[in-house]
Structures are given as C-alpha cells and as structure tokens.
Amino acid sequence: MEVSGTAKFGTRAIHAGQSPDPSTGAIMTPIYQTSTYVQQSPGKIIGEYDYSRAANPTRAALEANLANLEGAKHGLCFSSGVAATGAVLHLLSSGDKVLLGDDVYGGTNRLFNRVFNQMGIETVMVDMTDPDAINAAMDERTKLIWLETPTNPTLKIADIKQVASIAKQHGVMLAVDNTFATPFLQNPLSLGADIVCHSTTKYIGGHSDSIGGALLTNSDDLHQRLKFIQLSEGAVPGIMECFLLLRSTKTLHVRMERHCENAAKVAEHLNNHPQVEKVIYPGLASHPQHELAKKQMCGFGGMITIYIKGGLDESRAMLEKTKLFACAESLGGVESLIEHPAIMTHASVPADQREQLGISDNLIRLSVGIENVDDLIEDLDRALG
C-alpha cells in the first residue's frame, strides 16, 4: 500500500511496504518461502526476483516498512544486528580508522576490537557526549564514527546533530545504532546520520522470538554498496523471520508507549527506594542529559540502569529473587528482563574498560516490559528486600 507522506507513525507501522497480495487478496504479506524463482527463458526473469539471497518479496516488504519508519529511502535486512554492523565495517579498507562510542553494546565492541582490528581497521573508543574528544581523535585516516544513544548500559545520550556536524566537517561517515530508542522515539537520519543500524532482535521484534538486524540510509550510493555486501556475504534473514518482524512492527508504537510509561513509573519508584543508590533513566530530571533527551527523543524508552546499595552478593541476590523480571540477556521484549552487565552482557568488555565506564558489580540493568506496572514494582520491591 502506498502510505501517504503525511501519515503518522502508527499508520505507517501497519501499512508501509505492504499491500494485499494481488493474486489472492490476502491482506497479510505472504511468507514467500522459496529460495529460487522460475525464469521465462535463460536470464529473463518473470518479476523482480531470481534468488532469495539477493532478494525475496517478504523481505522486501520488511525492508520497505523499516525504511519508512526511520524516514529512510532504503532499507536492508540482515540475519542479526551484528551482521548488519559487520556489513557497514566492510565498507572500510585496511588502514582506515573508526571512532567508536566508548559505551557500545558488548558484541559491537568485540566485533570492532577483536575481529575487524585483525583486518587492519583501527578502532579508537571515544566518549560521544564530548565533542572535544571526538575532534581530538579525528585524523585523515578516520572514515567512520559509530555511536549508540542512549548507550548500553549507562544510558548516556549523545547529541546526534552535533556529532553529525563534526562528521560532515571531516568528511567522515556517521552510523547510529538506534536499537535502544527505536524509530518510534528517535530518527537519526533526520539529525544528520548517514546510516542507521538496528538489532531487530530487541524492540522492533519485541517478543524475544527472533534474531535480526537492519540498515537504513537515504544515500543511493551507500545503499548500493551495502546491498552488494549483503548479497556477497549472504548474512540475510530467513523468510519466516521477516514475516514475524512484519507482524511485530504493526504494534511497535503501542508497545513503545507502554514501555515508556512503565519505565517512567519504575524509575521514579526506584529513585526513592532506600536500597537503591542511584537510578539512571533519561526521563529523570537527575539524568545529566535529560534536556538533550527531551529535545532529541519523543519518549525516554524502556531501559533503566540502577546502582543498588552493596556489591556482587547483593546484586546476585536481587537477580535470583525477582519472579516477573526474568534473569536473561537481551532487551526490548514485551516481558521484563533483569541482568547484570559485568557478569552477563558486558563480560566480553575488558575489566579496565568496564571500570572506566562505571559498569560496576552493583550495576543492574532492567528492560521494563509491558506487564502491569504495579506488579512489576511489587516484584522489584520484594527482590530488593
């Protein structure tokens, strides 16, 4: 369906990239579970498709849908968020340098610093909330800035517009991992980013039942180069995964509204809890970049980071005691999760880096789901004792 340019997010989430199947009228995009397509005569294809690594109609609908939600001209889907990240890194050559946010997802840190470094791509970790630090790290070999905002797990907010203008001055590409905010809360391309990356595993999927990634861009040139990498490396999602994600994006706006609402209440409650030393949530006035978050995002998200009173033993006890908050890695699903970054998601980040970033033994990360918020608060109170 052609969605009008003025249609609001909720309408685009449900309709963009999808139209009833012309042969049957099926309102949902069919699962085109096929690897290949019959040709009329050698080299003469019937429609647009010849082989599903290159393109598939179900995937094409998802790519168009996600592109629309980010306000992008082009979208490409991958088998995971890190596969999407890797595709961007393959735009670079040996000898190039990347400025990477100092507080990025652990798997992103590992991919840059332990895989692509071996191919001659140098990574320098930079605090993306500090424009002087970004400028200081920049040199003529720098080709890419990669950042997340809010970051994981300390929820720092980078000023995308400001970083984009630094990137432009130096002729450097800016990629923003928008997984935590989702296209509902923030659109980095409209703030000057060249590429947006998502792990669709998280909020976009929203049901903790699939792994996937996506890249969105307005640049025809970047799109063509990334599409070539997608085709050549083959890290494409399965067709069923694409169907599941099309089903997920239809409720993204509704889920995100409830994630934000619940997280705000939980953050407020924990902020006044005697067993909690500190709460980090962009929606709290005490957050160092609360004003920037208000300006850049249209909601504060579902992620909360807390420092509890005590150390490893007290953290472990809390994670063992919650019943609704399940102790698991990942985030962004309808169900609430609790995790300990130093032991779990960020274990692959070297200990000295963790310490510098404040990922201490009493730091706990919450992914607030869309259950009844009173039940969630009761669960946390019980676990905090």
| Nearer to ligand PLP (CB atom), residue 88 or residue 380 | 88
> Are 379 and 325 contacting, i.e. CB atoms less than 8 angstroms apart?
yes
Residue list 110-139, contact with ligand PLP (CB under 6 A): none
| Nearer to ligand PLP (CB atom), residue 123 or residue 379 | 123
Residue 49 catalytic? no
> Are 319 and 364 contacting, i.e. CB atoms less than 8 angstroms apart?
yes
What is the distance between the alpha carbons of residues 331 and 368, in angstroms, rounded to a whole number?
A: 8
Residue list 232-291, contact with ligand PLP (CB under 6 A): none
Handedness of CA 211, 254, 14, 6 (dihedral sign): negative
Q: Is 18 in the site for ligand PLP (CB under 6 A)?
A: no
What is the distance between the alpha carbons of residues 368 and 260, in angstroms, rounded to a whole number?
A: 8
Q: Is 58 in the site for ligand PLP (CB under 6 A)?
A: no
Contact string (CB under 6 A) for ligand PLP, positions 321-360, x = contact: ----------------------------------------
Q: Is 152 in the site for ligand PLP (CB under 6 A)?
A: yes
Q: Is 365 in the site for ligand PLP (CB under 6 A)?
A: no
Q: Measuring CA to CA, how many Å separate 227 from each of 75, 141, 176, 216, 236? A: 9, 25, 18, 11, 11
Residue 32 catalytic? no
Residue 212: CB minimum distance to ligand PLP, A: 6
Residue 177 catalytic? yes
Which one, of 188, 203, 206, 209, lies nearest residue 146 by Cα?
188
Active-site residue (options: 102, 177, 194, 379): 177
Active-site residue (options: 49, 50, 53, 73): 53
Contact string (CB under 6 A) for ligand PLP, positions 155-194, x = contact: ----------------------x-xx--------------
Residue 105 catalytic? yes
Q: Is 108 in the site for ligand PLP (CB under 6 A)?
A: yes
Q: Measuring CA to CA, how many Å separate 92 from each of 95, 96, 100, 236, 297? A: 9, 6, 14, 20, 30
Q: Is 213 in the site for ligand PLP (CB under 6 A)?
A: yes
Handedness of CA 242, 244, 250, 254 (dihedral sign): negative
Active-site residue (options: 12, 97, 143, 202): 202
Structure tokens at 361: 């033994």
Q: Which residue is nearest to ligand PLP (CB)?
A: 81
Contact string (CB under 6 A) for ligand PLP, positions 66-85, x = contact: --------------xxx---
Beta-carbon contacts of residue 152 (< 8 Å; ≥ 6 apart): 103, 104, 105, 180, 303, 345, 365
Q: Which of 29, 58, 105, 256 is the binder for ligand PLP (CB under 6 A)? A: 105
- Spell out the alpha helix ranges (H) of 220-368: 220-233, 239-249, 252-271, 290-296, 312-321, 351-357
Using CB under 6 A as the criterion, which residues of the chain lie in contact with ligand PLP when the complex forms? 80-82, 105, 107-108, 148, 152, 177, 179-180, 199, 201-202, 211, 213
| Active-site annotation, residues | 53, 105, 177, 202
